[in-house]
Structure 1
Amino acid sequence: MALTQLAKSRWQDYFDHVSKALPTKLVEVEVAGLGLGDQVEVDWLPLLGLSYDPKDDVLTVMVEGIEHNIWHPKQIHVDQDVESLHSMEVVDAAGEHHILLLKDPLRLPPPSEGSR
């Protein structure tokens, strides 16, 4: 895995591509800052998509039932390998860190013949 800082000029295309290509993942979103400490905003819900709107300068994390908006992001770092995005850290204008951790959902085995 490699930690990479994304250039702001790539944010919109990067998140459009990731949203289309990302398999179903669960996401935890933690926000950390001097004034608020560490707070979990989203606790392992299915990630529906990520988008960056350059006009409003907002990164939106869409999860089941919630939109987490990060206004005026200043830096975005992603932890990824060739096949998958593992985590992301976004620093906003107020200096708060929005940390997204991704994991595959738990796949349950098919029911056994005797339980049907």
Structure 2
Amino acid sequence: MSIHKLHQGEWRAFCDRVSKGLAGKLAEVQIASPAIGSQIEAKWLPLLGLVYDPKEESIEIALDGLDHIIQKPQEFYVDESVAGLANFEIIGVDGTKHIVTLRDPLMLPPPETVKQGAG
């Protein structure tokens, strides 16, 4: 498995790619912070979408029956292998870790390429 950090400029495109490929994937959301310890917020619910809103400075993890919103995210890590995306972790402004684990890895569509010299 390969864990890598996404640059903030990649967040929106990554969220769009994940959302396009979901098709009812089940996910678990875990919250970890020094203040509350580690807690499971959602256990194997269908993941409906992942949205980054740069104007609101937030990431929304939309699950069936639950919207988990992270205000002012600071870091975004993804864990991908040849089998696909296994999990991702978003660190909030207060250091809280929001860890989303997929029950089955998600094969992501390739990133869209920008045509050079188009116009």
Category of TM-score, reference length = shorter chain: 0.7 to 0.9
- 1:25 matched residue in structure 2: 25
Equivalence map 1:11-50=2 (5 Å): 11-50=11-50
- 1:57 matched residue in structure 2: 57
**Unmatched tracts of structure 1, length 5 or more:** 105-116
CA deviations on 1:89-112 (whole Å, 9 max, x unpaired) are: 1110000011111013xxxxxxxx
Bigger mean CA offset, 90-99 vs 17-26 = 17-26
- 1:6 matched residue in structure 2: 6
Q: Percent identity?
A: 39
What is the rounded CA distance, in whole Å, between the counterparts of 2:81 and 2:24 in structure 1?
A: 17
Check if 1:97 corresponds to 2:62.
Answer: no
**Unmatched tracts of structure 2, length 5 or more:** 105-119
What is the root-mean-square deviation in Å for CA atoms of aligned residues? Answer: 1.2
Aligned residues: 104
Letter in 2 for 1:20: K
Aligned residue for 1:87, secondary structure, equals strand
- The answer on whether the counterparts of 2:25 and 2:46 sit within 8 Å (CA) in structure 1 is yes
- The answer on whether the counterparts of 1:22 and 1:84 sit within 8 Å (CA) in structure 2 is no
- The answer on whether the counterparts of 2:73 and 2:91 sit within 8 Å (CA) in structure 1 is yes
Equivalence map 1:75-86=2 (5 Å): 75-82=75-82, 84-86=84-86
- The answer on whether the counterparts of 2:22 and 2:48 sit within 8 Å (CA) in structure 1 is no
Letter in 1 for 2:32: A
